[in-house]
Amino acid sequence: MDQFTINIIFVGGSFMLYVAIAIWARAGTTSEFYAAGRGVNPVVNGAATAADWMSAASFISMAGLIAFVGYDNSTFLMGWTGGYVLLALLLAPYLRKFGRYTVPEFIGDRFYSQTARMVAVISLLVMSITYVIGQMAGAGVAFSRFLEVDATTGLIIAAAVVFAYAVLGGMKGITYTQLAQYCVLITAYTIPAVFISLQLTNNPIPPLGLFSTHVESGMPLLAKLDEIVQELGFRDYTSNHGSMLNMTLFTISLMIGTAGLPHVIIRFFTVPKVSDARWSAGWALVFIALLYLTAPAVGAMARLNIMTTIYPDGTDSQPISYEERPDWMRTWEQTGLLAFEDKNNDGLIQYYNDASPEFAAIAAERGWEGNEMVRFNNDILVLANPEIAQLPGWVIGLIAAGGLAAALSTAAGLLLAISSAVSHDLIKSTINPNISEKGELLAARISMAGAIVVATYLGANPPGFAAQVVALAFGLAASSLFPAIMMGIFSKKMNTAGAVTGMLVGLGSTLLYIFTYLGWFFIPGTNMLENVPANWLFGISPLSFGAVGAALNFIAAYVVMNMTKEPPEEIQELVESIRVPRGAGSAQSH
C-alpha cells in the first residue's frame, strides 16, 4: 500500500470518528450548546482542554522552535504551562461558581455595565478570530502535504468536518470530539519520539532520554549537541543568549495570556462542580505536559540527528553528498520547506553557520563558500520525524491525522467562543433580550456557521500579518481580559470605571507598542521604529509587552477605582458569593 493511501485511511478514519461523535452528542438546549449541560467529567474535560489548547503551533512548530534556538525558547514551555496554575488558583473555580456561559457575561455582570461587556466582546472577537486564522491555515498546509490536494480544497474539507460537529453539537459535541482528538494527537506525537529516543539513548522515555547518555559517543546527549553545534559555528544549545528581562516578561505574558484566553476559560464552565474546576485544570496540565515534556526532547534529538546525518563521520570530515541525501530530504524539498544550494560546486552539503565571524576562517580554509542548507523550515521537524527515524508508513499517516486533530480541535474551541459571544452577548443581551431558548439556540448555530465561513475564507486568504497574530492574541488576553477577571474576583471594591479604564489602558498600550514596531494593523512599512532590540523600550520585545500591559491595566484600574464611587451593595454580595463553592448548582436560566 502506498503512503498516500495510508494517509487517506488515517485522516479519513479520524474524520469519520469525529462526525460519528457529533451525531451522538447533539445539543438540544442552550446549556448543552454553550456548556455541554455542565455534566462533563473533570478528567474528560482535562483532556478536552488539552486538545482545545494545543494548537497546530504546539503540535507542529514548538519542537522546531526549541531545536534551532535551544535554551532561550524554554519560555514557550514554561509560559504555555504556567498559565494553568493561574487558571486553577485565580480564575476557574470562581467563574464556574458564577455559573454563566461566556467571559464577557461575567465581566458585564460583575462590573454592572454593558460598556464593560462590549469591551470584553471586542477583545474576545479580535483575539479569537486572529487565532483561528492560523489554525485553519495550518489545517490547509497539513492537507496539502499529506493528501496531495491543494490547500484551499483541504481547508474546505476541514471546515465541513468542523461544521458537522460544532454546529450540531455545540460545546457538547466539541468536548467529546476534542477528547478523541487528544488521543489521536498524543499518540501521533509520542510514537516517533519514543523510537528516536531509543535509537539515540536506549531510553524509551523521551524526557528522560534528553538528560541521558548519547549511545554513539558515550557523552551526555546535551553535551554532545552543544559540542557539535559549536564545531559548526552555531551558538551552544544550553546557554542563555538573550536578555533575561525580556525572557522573563515574555514568559509572564504567555502565562497570563494563556489564563486569559476565552476559549480555554469557557472549558471550565462545563464541569458539574467548583471543586471539579480545580481538578480539571490539574488534569488538563497533566495531558498537556505529556506533549510539552516530550517536545524539548524531540527538538534536541532531531537537531542532533540532522547534524549527524549531514556529517556522518564527524564535523572534521566531509559532509554527505547531495546525491546520497536521505529520502526524507528529497520528499521535503518538493514542498519548498527544505532547500539546498551547492555554493562551491563540490556536490557535498556543507551545513554551518556562515554568519559567525569566528567560524569564517575555518570555512575559508576548508573551501566552503556559504551554508548550503539554505532553508530548513522549523515545522518540518515534527512532521518529518517518522521519516528521519525511518519508521513505517502508518506512523506518517498517524502524524498527518495528529496534526489535523491539533488544528481542528483548537479551531472548534475558538469558534465556540466566537459564536457564543455573538449569540449570547450581542444578540441575547443587546439586540433582542426577549429571544426564546429555541431562538437563541438557532442564533448560536447560525453564528457558529457564520464564524466557520469567515475563518475558512481568512484561512484561505490569510492577511499579511498571519505570522504575528498569535503574539497579538496573547498580548490582548494578557493585558485586557486576565486583569479584569482577576480583579472582579479578588477586589470587592473594583467598580465599572476602574475595570473599563484598566481594560482600555492595557489593550491600548499593548496595541500601541506592538504597532509601533510591527506596523499599524501589521501593514508593512507603517512601523514607526525598526523592530530591532536596540530600539525596544528597556529591551522589551513587542511580543513580551503583554505583561507590561497587564501591569498598566492593574495600576490604572486601582487609581480610577479610588477616585470613583464604590460598587453597589448587591455587586459586593455577588463577589462574596462567587468566593465560596457552596450553592454552585447547575446552569442558571436567565
Partner 1 sequence: MSDKSSSNAYWQANLRIIKICMVIWALVSLGFGILLRPLISGIPVGGTDLGFWFAQQGSILVFIALIFFYATYMNRLDREHGVDEQ
Nearer to partner 1, 220 or 450 (CB): 220
Nearer to partner 1, 139 or 254 (CB): 254
Long-range pairs of 569-573 with CB within 8 A, sequence gap ≥ 24: 571/110, 571/112, 572/492, 572/493
Q: Which three cell numbers stand for residue 394?
A: 502508518
Q: Whole-number minimum distance, CB 237 to partner 1, in Å?
A: 8
d(C-alpha 513, C-alpha 546), whole Å: 10
Are 429 and 442 spatial neighbours (Cβ–Cβ below 8 Å)? no
Nearer to partner 1, 164 or 252 (CB): 252
Q: Which range touches partner 1 (CB under 8 A), out of 190-198, 470-478, 484-492, 506-514?
A: 484-492
Judged by CB under 8 A, the chain residues 103 through 162 that form the site for partner 1 are none
Q: Whole-number minimum distance, CB 184 to partner 1, in Å?
A: 22
**348 DSSP β-pair partners:** 321
Q: Which range touches partner 1 (CB under 8 A), out of 66-74, 133-141, 423-431, 473-481?
A: 66-74
DSSP-derived letter for residue 566 is P
DSSP string, 51-120: HHH--HIIIIIHHHHHHTT-GGGHHHHHHHHHHHHHIIIIIHHHHHHHT-S-HHHHHHHHTT-HHHHHHH
221 in contact with partner 1 (CB under 8 A) = yes
Nearer to partner 1, 86 or 399 (CB): 86
d(C-alpha 188, C-alpha 183), whole Å: 9
Q: Give the one residue of 334, 336, 582, 589 binding partner 1; rule: CB under 8 A.
A: 582
Are 539 and 245 spatial neighbours (Cβ–Cβ below 8 Å)? yes
Q: Whole-number minimum distance, CB 8 to partner 1, in Å?
A: 36
Task: Mark 290-319 with x for binding to partner 1 (rule: CB under 8 A) and - for no binding.
Answer: --xx--x-----------------------
Size of the site for partner 1 (CB under 8 A): 59
d(C-alpha 176, C-alpha 203), whole Å: 34
Are 287 and 110 spatial neighbours (Cβ–Cβ below 8 Å)? no
Nearer to partner 1, 238 or 526 (CB): 238
Q: How many angstroms separate the Cα of 564 from the Cα of each of 37, 404, 553, 560, 573? A: 39, 50, 16, 6, 19
Nearer to partner 1, 348 or 547 (CB): 547
Q: Whole-number minimum distance, CB 17 to partner 1, in Å?
A: 29
**In the block, residue with C-alpha cell 484551499:** 152
3-state secondary structure string across 457-502 = HHHHCCCCCHHHHHHHHHHHHHHHHHHHHHHHHHCCCCCHHHHHHH
Q: Whole-number minimum distance, CB 181 to partner 1, in Å?
A: 22
- Give the phi and the psi of residue 523 in degrees, each rounded to 5: -75, 120
Q: Give the one residue of 153, 212, 353, 356 binding partner 1; rule: CB under 8 A.
A: 212
493 in contact with partner 1 (CB under 8 A) = yes
Q: Give the one residue of 220, 439, 508, 539 binding partner 1; rule: CB under 8 A.
A: 220
Q: How many angstroms separate the Cα of 366 from the Cα of each of 42, 316, 350, 369, 579? A: 61, 10, 10, 9, 69
Task: Mark 250-289 with x for binding to partner 1 (rule: CB under 8 A) and - for no binding.
Answer: -xx--x-----------------xxx--xx-xx--xx--x
Judged by CB under 8 A, the chain residues 234 through 253 that form the site for partner 1 are 238, 240, 244, 247-248, 251-252
DSSP string, 226-249: HHHHHHTTPPPSSS--S-HHHHHH
Q: Give the one residue of 576, 586, 588, 590 binding partner 1; rule: CB under 8 A.
A: 576
d(C-alpha 354, C-alpha 351), whole Å: 9
d(C-alpha 403, C-alpha 382), whole Å: 9
Nearer to partner 1, 89 or 467 (CB): 89
583 in contact with partner 1 (CB under 8 A) = yes
Q: Give the one residue of 16, 23, 89, 563 binding partner 1; rule: CB under 8 A.
A: 89
Q: How many angstroms separate the Cα of 348 from the Cα of each of 311, 342, 344, 375? A: 10, 7, 9, 16
Task: Mark 394-433 with x for binding to partner 1 (rule: CB under 8 A) and - for no binding.
Answer: ----------------------------------------
Q: Which range touches partner 1 (CB under 8 A), out of 54-62, 78-86, 156-164, 311-319?
A: 78-86
3-state secondary structure of 213: strand
- Give the binding site for partner 1 (CB under 8 A): 66, 71, 74, 77-78, 81-82, 84-85, 88-90, 93, 207, 210-212, 219-224, 226, 238, 240, 244, 247-248, 251-252, 255, 273-275, 278-279, 281-282, 285-286, 289, 292-293, 296, 487, 490-493, 572, 575-576, 579-584
